[in-house]
Structure 1
Amino acid sequence: MKIVEILISLSRAEAVMLNPSAEQAHKRSNLLQTAAILAGMCALVAVSAGLLWGFAGAAVACGIVGLLAFCSPQIPASVVMRLYKGQRLDAGSPNQLNNITNALSERAELQHRPEIYIIPSLTLNAFATGTRRRPTIGITEGLLRQLSLRELAGVLAHEVSHIKNNDLRVMGLADLMSRFTQILSYTAAILAIVNVLSLIFAGEFTYNWFAIGLLYLAPAISSLLQLGLSRVREFDADLEGASFTGDPEGLASALEKVERYTGHFWEDLMLPVPARRVPLPSMLRSHPTTEQRVARLQELDLNRAYPQIIIREEPMISMVGLGPIAMRPRYRFPGIWY
């Protein structure tokens, strides 16, 4: 891959900051929401286990959740990137992405700079994975081809914020609790069968139908809590990422462009008019709507305390040497879309 080198003016002194009182209030609010949602998911695990095995079961389930939180088992980033056929960008090579990543890592005061992987796909996506000690950011070729360098800086800053705030571990813990609840709920189907057989052969129910119903609904409730947690962390990453670049409008522009390129063309082409732009209920979204995110970023821009970082767009990113992208977006083993 050949990416033209660019000069970037990034210094810690130029950071954009929220009003100190507003920033503290924002961080407190997000922290409380995160704690409340995680506590709710933990309580749901405890209730599900308690319905099956009583107080002892609830205590054991809470102990397992605590152990998972302490150990924080995670799939190595290298394994994730192999699934996406990602290619690591040499951290020592002088190119635009490395320059931006180095500067953002310094601003975020990360102890370990994230490795950058390029994913050969036309989808417009970027994500952080790994741990704080070995963080990794994956960027698709589609994103590199469609976004300007200014917009890419905003996206990278968003992912760096996820790494700084330990969102990888928080969301990993939430996912583990959600899966644990799902496993416990499988017994609801078994208990329902036992109840029906008991009614047929003994004329009475063995287990309480209300408890079975709660077990059956627990995964859906857990998923809603997990989606709520994701939305909270995404808002936080947007605002803090914008403070790292000093350019909220860069990330806002990237969000709007991704929204424009993903889905709407096919909606307009294939769907009848009444079916277009039917908004998904907010509680079923993993991310806030683009409109909400852009509005918050624009509010941050109005309260900017320092001048934005200047990223020189000349020359633009060159994809010379890459050739055509061979991998079109589709589901690939083991069930991931790229």
Structure 2
Amino acid sequence: MNMLKTTVLMAALMGILIAIGGAVGGSTGALVMFVVSLGMNIFMYWNSVDMCLKAYGAQEITREDAPNLYDLVERLAKRAELPMPRVCIIEADEPNAFATGRNPEHAAVAVTTGIMRVLNYEELAGVLSHELAHVKHRDILISTIAASMAGAISMIANVAQFGAIFGSSNNDDEEGGSNMATLLATAIIAPLAAGIIQMAVSRSREYDADAEGGNICGNPLYLANALEKIDYYAKHGEMPNATPATAHMFIINPFEGAGKRLANMFSTHPLTEDRIARLHEQASEKGITTV
């Protein structure tokens, strides 16, 4: 199902770019954008993982760099019956984490320095188990592709908006006005399309990853406590380099704080309170009452 969703998203990106090319340059523009979109799809499939990691300055580490973190990921990956993923650290005070990759054999798990400081060992195990659950459920490909697509469309929208503002000053005839209207329409529609692509990532995937993560780490309350802490910091801080295009990849939406309401409209995360309540129910069903 996730592979089908990814194929649909790639086809949607081609359709959006071809439509933009046709609106701006007619049949020639549509043909050019067809070639561009085809190249973008191929490039994103093979390189979107590194693009997402580089966007946040994530540095891959070895066992020698951070033995406790590396050993924990290795132990949990074995419990989840997954190949060992790449382990990366992001220099950021805000606690958060995400997983990326095109399949379990080419997956990476990234955590911030803040999450390693704020969470205890069991809570960190809960977070890493959640991210490994995304790998196990093969959510990571569609999440990574959606992030790359949303970023690409947003970039195109910015270029179109720039052209509409500065290109119109040198062209006052009827054709110039038509071009300006087309560029303005592109600048408005493209961000909406990016939002739709992000919304294609189902919110239910977080509930499923929470439940599986609780099974992997052995105690759903580890993850419940971790989510409560991460949510607090997300509401009272701001993660550097975070963008709405990649917000859906994190365990908690980095735009939870006040003043980020537009970004929250496109959030693919359920309410943290609901996630915590479900984890407590899962723990109760297992007869677990304490961490």
Instruction: Work out the CA distance in 2 between the residues paired with 1:183 and 1:34.
Output: 20
Alignment match, 2:48: 74
- Within the candidate set 230, 250, 258, 1:258 is matched to 230
**Structure 1-normalised TM-score?**
0.59
Q: Which has the larger radius of gyration?
A: 1
Within 5 Å, give how 1:60-139 maps onto structure 2. Answer: 61-62=33-34, 64-71=36-43, 72=45, 73-74=47-48, 76=50, 80=54, 83-84=57-58, 87-90=61-64, 97-98=69-70, 100-110=72-82, 112-118=83-89, 122-129=93-100, 132=103, 133-139=105-111
Identity of aligned residues (%): 26
- Within the candidate set 124, 129, 133, 1:161 is matched to 133
Alpha-carbon spacing, 1:85–1:68, altered in 2? closer, same or farther (3 Å)? closer
Shift of 1:158: 1.5
Alignment match, 1:16: none
Matched, 1:290 2:268: no
Within 5 Å, give how 1:259-274 maps onto structure 2. Answer: 259-264=231-236
Give, as a single letter, the amino acid of the residue that structure 1 aligns with 2:62.
R
Instruction: Work out the CA distance in 2 between the residues paired with 1:229 and 1:207.
Output: 32
Instruction: Work out the CA distance in 2 between the residues paired with 1:229 and 1:60.
Output: 27
Alpha-carbon spacing, 1:37–1:130, altered in 2? closer, same or farther (3 Å)? closer
Which structure shows the higher helix fraction? 2
- Within the candidate set 86, 101, 121, 1:149 is matched to 121
- Aligned-pair Cα RMSD in Å: 4.3
Alignment match, 1:228: 199
Stretches of structure 2 lacking an aligned partner (at least 5 in a row): 239-256
- Within the candidate set 201, 207, 210, 2:178 is matched to 207
What secondary structure sits across from 2:229 in the alignment?
Answer: helix
Alpha-carbon spacing, 1:120–1:264, altered in 2? closer, same or farther (3 Å)? closer
Instruction: Work out the CA distance in 2 between the residues paired with 1:298 and 1:58.
Output: 52
Within 5 Å, give how 1:9-48 maps onto structure 2. Answer: 40-48=12-20
Contact 1:231 1:285 in 2 (8 A): no
Give, as a single letter, the amino acid of the residue that structure 2 aligns with 1:149.
Y
Matched, 1:171 2:137: no
Shift of 1:251: 1.3
Alignment match, 1:248: 220
**Structure 2-normalised TM-score?**
0.67
| Structure with greater contact order relative to length (CA < 8 Å, sep ≥ 6) | 1
Alpha-carbon spacing, 1:245–1:54, altered in 2? closer, same or farther (3 Å)? farther
Instruction: Work out the CA distance in 2 between the residues paired with 1:121 and 1:176.
Output: 21
Write out per-residue CA displacement over residues 9-38 of structure 1, whole angstroms, 9 at most, x where no aligned residue: xxxxxxxxxxxxxxxxxxx7x888777666
Contact 1:89 1:117 in 2 (8 A): no
Contact 1:89 1:116 in 2 (8 A): no
Within 5 Å, give how 1:293-312 maps onto structure 2. Answer: 293-298=275-280, 300-301=282-283, 304=285
Instruction: Work out the CA distance in 2 between the residues paired with 1:190 and 1:211.
Output: 10
What secondary structure sits across from 1:219 in the alignment?
Answer: helix
What secondary structure sits across from 1:139 in the alignment?
Answer: strand
| Alignment length (residue pairs) | 266
